[in-house]
A and B are shown apart, each in its own frame.
Chain A
Amino acid sequence: MGVIAATYVLFLIVLILADLSYTSPSEILTALKSEEIQYSIKLSLISCTITMILSLIVAIPLGYFMARYDFPFKKWIDAILDIPIILPPLVIGLSLLILFNQTVLKDFFDFFGVSVSFTVASVIIAQFTVACAFAIRTMYVTFAQINNRQEQVALTLGCNQRQTFFYVLLPQAKNGILTAGALAWARALGEFGPLLVFSGSTRMHTEVLSVSVYLEITTGKIEAAVAVSLIMIVSGFSVLLLVRLFGYNKTIL
């Protein structure tokens, strides 16, 4: 069993080393200096951070509700929440495209003179659609793992539901929140399929790092694509490592 586990870990390491062997520090530097990549990094940082915040705003109350309450059709809702996780990314992109262009939502945004598809807003919406599902799942498991006995005691000690949530439950869910946020951020960073369909792949407009990799490949600049890929690997890995170093404690990630 140990051999299988070690082989898999080794496989992942070799996968990254293969990328490293294909590029050089100078190529990475060149990629970093490129105006397009700098824009892409900036947009990725902004969109991923907004996605993370939005995901937590939704995931914390929804995860709590799912973990603490029983209601009709709960299993149905539970399954619906996982749809963005299991659906092919392109299908999510297509669904978003239809929702924002072929339904009443289009009229709604048109009324305000706002366009969503193929804009920076669409990048955030596409990232959020998938990343939030991971954050919700994480918060659901986090709250479900916390014994509700402490909340009950807090109620007898004089708390109302709101005070119990903020003073007793939320501090205990700290690691879960950190994990959910990191997972949403990292997931948003790696999102590509929905972006391609819903946001397009326009240079210096809806170009995030994953789109940059695609654009570099389609223009035959494989070395540049690998360099951008490495930037993504380092960013994503750093976030995951930070969570483990400073907040990780027997949670889900």
Chain B
Amino acid sequence: MIECKDIHINQGNFSLSNFHFKAKNGAYVVIMGKTGCGKTTVLEAICGLRKIASGEVWLNDNEISKWTPAEREIGYVPQDGALFNTMTVAQNIGFALKIRKWEANKIEERVNELADTFGIKYLLERQAQDLSGGEKQRIALARALSFYPDVLCLDEPLSALDEDTKEGMFELLTELKNNMKITVLHVTHSKIEAQKLADVVLFVSDGKIKELNPSEL
């Protein structure tokens, strides 16, 4: 369960107030709104990458508002994937596990498991910077899931992809929703994505948030 209680965020001229929502374990939450409305800011605040002026973020039974991003253990996939260009795909996927000092064989096992799931085994030895947009997103997703987070934050994961690649990622996210017990917060401005994937839609507008049923879109 992840819950935001009356979060206020001030960032230059932009401010977001009374951001409040609660997502049950395993829920697929889509956060929507126009460009610049603060969707990404909310996601970054939940991940611990942006300070909140007031309010609380709860993860399961813990108030994590003051925790570092590392302590929160929330998976995060930004819009461009942000792969580590100086590393191979396998090193990217295994990075979080290396930081957690997993044994090399365990890391390899987990990397191979994720590579199978995401259909990227053939890319494992490639340098991250040489890949297509769709491949990068799959790897970024695998990397974010590598350490078994309870919550996964996706920031417009499909927006930069062409139609064919987008379709493949849709399937992957649907599989993620159906087969993995993970709470997903998915930021997008696409109604189609929200209708296809969301259990709950949070609509951000004018610094406020409104909860909608996907069928209401």
Binding site for A on B (CB under 8 A): 44, 47-49, 68-70, 72-76, 78, 80, 82-87, 95-96, 99-100, 140, 143-144, 147
Contacts and interface: CB of A to CB of B under 8 A. Distances in A.
Given A156-B69, A158-B147, A172-B85, A149 B78 contact: yes
20 contacts: A147-B80, A149-B78, A149-B80, A149-B82, A150-B83, A153-B140, A153-B143, A154-B84, A155-B68, A156-B48, A156-B74, A156-B75, A156-B76, A157-B147, A158-B100, A158-B147, A159-B70, A168-B84, A171-B84, A172-B84
Contacts of B143: 153, 157
A30 interface: no
Interface in A117-173: 147, 149-150, 152-160, 163, 167-168, 171-172
A152 to B, nearest CB: 5
Given A152-B49, A153-B76, A158 B85 contact: no
Contacts of A168: 84
A221 interface: no
**Residue with the highest number of chain B CB atoms closer than 10 Å, among A153, A155, A160:** A153
**Residue with the highest number of chain B CB atoms closer than 10 Å, among A150, A158, A159, A174:** A158
Contacts of B95: 154, 157, 167
Contacts of A155: 48-49, 68-70
B84 A156 contact: no
Contacts of A156: 47-49, 69-70, 72, 74-76, 144
B70 A152 contact: no
A157 B96 contact: yes
B59 to A, nearest CB: 13
Contacts of B140: 153
